[in-house]
């Protein structure tokens, strides 16, 4: 594991019940750059054949996952441990939101870990007692039901803000079409509208053309979009001639 990965928080699932939920948690982790998963007494053992399909490709997280006999052993090398719970359970500890905890972990020296409890019951009091702070998500008091993967993804997302991850869709965006292609589209449309009397009266023609140009230049079409629109106009043009 690289030095950069060692600075990232460890995700610890305490007594997880379903392999599918472990896989979904791994998927949530890798989406936001977290790779180290530790399991404490998984109910159905480990490895679990149900985890792989649910991970949807996050196999690197599952392959590196470690199993521990107790929560204390799982966080033994971590100096900063956060217990996720919506209840304080009578334990007096600092309480953080995921955003606050992520900011603190990003600046901390030493390893950090986030504990997540079983799906049905959450962390036990003895698990929470191992943590230096409680991590709580502001949530609807009338319906405080998060599943395991949802809880993991909230914390992982807040951590990712300190990792400068690249927005994936930015790589797929095409640049705006060159001006000559846009001029071709505008000229094509004007040529179709002219014989239909669209630019009448003549006294308003220039203003109408400017407005039309503004509408067509505002979106910042890329060259594929311009070609598509030209194809639409050509199709309408052919149809008009047949009629």
State pLDDT tens for residues 100-143: 999 999 998 899 999 999 988 889 989 999 999 999 988 887 88
- Return the higher-pLDDT residue of 72 and 166: 72
191 and 78 in one domain?
Answer: no
Q: How far is CA 227 from CA 20, 47, 219, in A?
A: 45, 52, 14
Same domain, 107 and 27: yes
Do 42 and 141 lie in a common domain? Answer: yes
Residue pair 137/98 in contact by the 8 Å Cβ criterion: yes
CA atoms of 33 and 159, how far apart (whole Å)? 9
- Looking at 142, 167, 192, the residue that finishes a domain is 167
DSSP H stretches of helix in 161-222: 179-193, 205-217
Kindly report, residue by residue over 5-59, the tens digit of the pLDDT: 778 999 999 999 999 999 999 999 999 999 999 999 999 999 999 999 999 999 9
**The domain boundary residue, chosen from 148, 167, 186:** 167
The answer on 180 and 101 residing in a single domain is no
pLDDT at 169 over 70: no
Determine the structural domain holding residue 226 and report its residue range: 174-242
- 229 and 160 part of one domain: no
Shared domain check, 120 and 13: yes
**pLDDT at residue 86 greater than cutoff 80:** no
Instruction: Choose the final residue of a domain: 152, 167, 182.
Output: 167
Residues 220 and 163 in one domain: no
188 and 208 part of one domain: yes
CATH number at residue 202: 1.10.8
Q: Residue 12 belongs to a domain with what CATH number?
A: 3.40.1280.10
Domain identity same for 13 and 52: yes
Same domain, 126 and 237: no
Tell whether 135 and 204 lie within a shared domain.
no
Q: Are 149 and 65 in the same domain? A: yes
Q: How many structural domains does the chain have?
A: 2
Which is it for the CA torsion 206, 212, 218, 220, positive or negative? negative
């Amino acid at each position: 594991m690289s030095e950069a990965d060692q600075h990232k928080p460890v995700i610890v699932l305490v007594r997880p019940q379903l392999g599918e939920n472990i896989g979904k948690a791994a998927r949530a982790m890798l989406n936001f750059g977290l790779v180290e998963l530790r399991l404490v007494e998984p109910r159905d053992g480990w490895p679990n054949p149900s985890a792989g399909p649910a991970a949807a490709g996050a196999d690197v997280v599952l392959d590196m996952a470690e199993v521990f006999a107790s929560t204390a052993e799982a966080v033994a090398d971590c100096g900063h441990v956060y217990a996720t719970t919506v209840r304080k359970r009578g334990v007096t500890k600092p309480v953080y939101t995921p955003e606050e905890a992520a900011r603190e972990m990003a600046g901390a020296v030493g390893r950090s870990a986030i504990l997540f409890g079983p799906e049905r019951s959450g962390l036990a009091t003895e698990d929470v007692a191992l943590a230096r702070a409680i991590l709580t998500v502001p949530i609807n008091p009338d319906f405080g039901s998060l599943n395991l993967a949802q809880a993991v993804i909230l914390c992982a997302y807040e951590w990712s803000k300190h990792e400068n991850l690249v927005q994936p869709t930015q790589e797929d965006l095409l640049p705006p079409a060159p001006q000559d292609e846009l001029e071709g589209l505008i000229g094509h449309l004007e040529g179709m509208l002219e014989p239909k009397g669209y630019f009448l009266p003549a006294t308003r023609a220039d203003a109408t053309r400017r407005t039309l140009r503004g509408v067509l230049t505002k979106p910042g079409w890329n060259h594929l979009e311009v070609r598509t629109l030209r194809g639409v106009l050509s199709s309408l043009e052919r149809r008009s001639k047949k009629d």
